[in-house]
């Protein structure tokens, strides 16, 4: 399990910027040590534990990029087309029976190894056949339509790096190397609780002043997209002792404990006291909207994160605090979020010195350029605002005003997970 020191999330300043939060996490959270070997077909989304150097070049042998006719470049007609006798035929998966001799061409197909003596291929579309000979036009570049061995990946090149969150194309590269297994970091075990007397699990009986717990399902889904094994631990009452004993019982058996709700500073926000009874806790007052304090702590060496209860605040702080923590625990590259420039189709005023996220939809403007249309309402409790939009416009700390037509940075929801 992860073993962090009690004070690893200590922070001196009154307000923490989003970038500072990510930096503190990346610097102070160490990767879990456990590595496992898994079948290639199960590797998508996992974190590569070590570098993979190419055990063979790709392509492994020099081959034709097209269906056509192979010749020696010294034979390429310079000024006029010329007829060449055919000296054989080589298909993908076979080797040429003979080397090519001067003045001859060989029929060849895409992916077939180049016959000895040939280094150029004429595309079949560019030639004609006459009396069993192939007529090759003048002017082709020497080496055309040939894929040299190693042009894709040279032998020994570190083609996949430790910390890579494996994507389908990464798995394909490992397969092209002939690998059947990969060493990956074991899945993180994350305990998830909701907190609040007003919450009931879907399926339970909801009294009239209660609501169904939605955050837990959102957070569990986001964690699973990051490759975590999630323990769904239900809802904790707003009560210090119950919180403390539940948290103590899961620390040690998990790599991360995540809660939502109860971390503001109201007298019914008991998470802080619950964590302090069994571990160390600091409230990070982050300069982010939607947000509110995020609780960071350590319980028996296990990192703890308490997110706010409002669904949109919970979502946004997950992205900036939980996601980097999970990546750091897995030893994954931090994968910085890169907003794409789009045109604002809205006006917006904001406070200086805090990062804001505006929920938007994308549409094509009159000139075909992408425009961001702001969701009409702003409350951090509006779950439908996340459901009915495409992503978030990120407004940096220095911005105070957005005017229609201005370029703003857009993050799709898919890019955040």
Positions touching ligand AMP (CB under 6 A) are 194, 196, 198-199, 213-216, 260-262, 264, 269, 308-311, 381
Place of tokens 């189709």: 345
Query: Buried (b) or exposed (e) across 63-90, using 16+ Cβ within 10 A?
Result: bbebbbbbbbeebbbeeeebbbeebbeb
Q: What is the dihedral of CA 398, 401, 404, 405, to 10 degrees?
A: -30
Touching Mg ion, residues 32-51 (CB under 5 A): none
Our CB check for ligand AMP shows the closer of 216 and 272 to be 216
Q: Point out the residue whose Cβ comes nearest to ligand AMP.
A: 309
Using the contact rule CB under 5 A, the part of the chain among 38-46, 50-58, 219-227, 253-261 near Mg ion is 253-261
Decide which of Mg ion, ligand AMP, none touches 57; Cβ closer than 5 to 8 Å per partner kind.
none
Can residue 291 be called a binding residue for Mg ion (CB under 5 A)? Answer: no
Our CB check for ligand AMP shows the closer of 216 and 374 to be 216
Our CB check for ligand AMP shows the closer of 163 and 261 to be 261
Our CB check for ligand AMP shows the closer of 71 and 199 to be 199
Q: What is the distance between the alpha carbons of residues 313 and 214, in angstroms, rounded to a whole number?
A: 13
Can residue 308 be called a binding residue for Mg ion (CB under 5 A)? Answer: no
Q: Which of 68, 113, 117, 262 binds Mg ion (CB under 5 A)?
A: 262
Decide which of ligand AMP, Mg ion, none touches 279; Cβ closer than 5 to 8 Å per partner kind.
none
Q: What is the distance between the alpha carbons of residues 175 and 353, in angstroms, rounded to a whole number?
A: 48
E strands within 178-327? 181-185, 189-195, 199-200, 211-212, 229-236, 256-260, 280-284, 288-289, 294-299, 302-307
Our CB check for Mg ion shows the closer of 270 and 374 to be 270
Alpha helices of 177-306 — where are they, by DSSP H? 215-225, 240-250, 271-278
Decide which of Mg ion, ligand AMP, none touches 17; Cβ closer than 5 to 8 Å per partner kind.
none
Long-range CB pairs of 100-107 (<8 Å, 24+ gap) are: 100/70, 100/71, 100/72, 102/72, 102/74, 102/75, 103/75, 104/71, 105/69, 105/70, 105/71, 105/75, 105/134, 105/136, 106/69, 106/70, 106/71, 107/69, 107/134
Can residue 297 be called a binding residue for Mg ion (CB under 5 A)? Answer: no
Q: What is the dihedral of CA 70, 74, 76, 81, to 10 degrees?
A: -120
* Run of H or E residues at 26: helix 18-28
Q: Report in angstroms how near the CB of residue 25 gets to ligand AMP at its nearest.
A: 21
Decide which of ligand AMP, Mg ion, none touches 385; Cβ closer than 5 to 8 Å per partner kind.
none
Can residue 311 be called a binding residue for Mg ion (CB under 5 A)? Answer: no
Decide which of ligand AMP, Mg ion, none touches 216; Cβ closer than 5 to 8 Å per partner kind.
ligand AMP
Our CB check for Mg ion shows the closer of 118 and 263 to be 263
Decide which of ligand AMP, Mg ion, none touches 397; Cβ closer than 5 to 8 Å per partner kind.
none
Our CB check for Mg ion shows the closer of 196 and 297 to be 196
Can residue 293 be called a binding residue for Mg ion (CB under 5 A)? Answer: no
Sign of CA dihedral 318, 319, 322, 326: positive
Touching Mg ion, residues 167-226 (CB under 5 A): 196
Residue 85 pairs in a beta bridge with 133
Q: Report in angstroms how near the CB of residue 290 gets to ligand AMP at its nearest.
A: 11
Chain residues binding Mg ion by CB under 5 A are 196, 261-262, 309
């Amino acid at each position: 399990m992860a073993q962090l020191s009690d004070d690893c999330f200590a922070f001196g300043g009154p307000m923490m910027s989003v970038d500072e939060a990510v930096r503190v996490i990346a610097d102070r959270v160490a990767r879990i040590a456990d590595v496992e070997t898994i079948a290639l077909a199960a590797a998508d989304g996992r974190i590569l534990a070590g570098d993979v150097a190419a055990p063979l070049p790709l392509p492994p042998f020099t081959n034709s990029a097209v269906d056509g006719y192979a010749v020696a470049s010294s034979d390429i007609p310079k000024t006029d087309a010329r007829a060449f006798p055919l000296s054989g035929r080589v298909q993908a998966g076979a080797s040429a029976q003979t080397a090519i001799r001067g003045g001859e061409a060989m029929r060849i197909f895409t992916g077939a190894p180049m016959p000895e003596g040939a280094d150029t291929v004429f595309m079949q579309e560019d030639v004609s056949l006459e009396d069993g000979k192939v007529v090759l036009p003048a002017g082709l570049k020497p080496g055309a339509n040939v894929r040299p061995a190693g042009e894709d990946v040279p032998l020994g090149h570190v083609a996949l790096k430790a910390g890579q969150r494996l994507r389908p194309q990464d798995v394909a590269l490992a397969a092209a190397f002939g690998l059947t297994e990969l060493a990956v970091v074991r899945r993180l075990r994350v305990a998830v609780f909701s907190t609040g007397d007003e919450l009931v699990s879907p399926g339970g009986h909801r009294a009239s002043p209660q609501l169904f717990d939605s955050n837990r399902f959102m957070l569990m889904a986001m964690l699973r997209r990051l490759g975590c094994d999630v323990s769904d631990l239900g809802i904790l009452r707003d009560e210090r002792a119950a919180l403390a004993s539940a948290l103590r019982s899961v620390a040690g058996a998990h790599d991360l404990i995540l809660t939502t709700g109860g971390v503001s500073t109201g007298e019914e926000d008991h998470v802080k006291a619950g964590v302090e009874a069994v571990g160390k806790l600091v409230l990070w007052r982050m300069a982010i909207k939607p947000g509110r304090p995020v609780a960071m702590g350590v319980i028996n060496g296990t990192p703890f994160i308490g997110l706010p209860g409002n669904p949109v605040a919970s979502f946004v702080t997950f992205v900036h605090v939980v996601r980097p923590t999970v990546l750091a625990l897995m030893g994954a590259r931090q994968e910085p979020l890169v907003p794409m420039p789009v045109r604002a189709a809205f006006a917006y005023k904001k406070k200086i010195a805090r990062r804001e996220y505006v929920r938007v939809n994308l549409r094509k403007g009159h000139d075909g350029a992408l425009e961001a249309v702001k969701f009409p309402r702003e409350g951090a409790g509006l779950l439908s605002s996340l459901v009915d939009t495409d992503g978030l416009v990120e407004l940096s700390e220095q911005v105070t005003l957005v005017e229609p037509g201005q370029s703003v940075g857009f993050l799709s929801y898919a890019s955040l997970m």
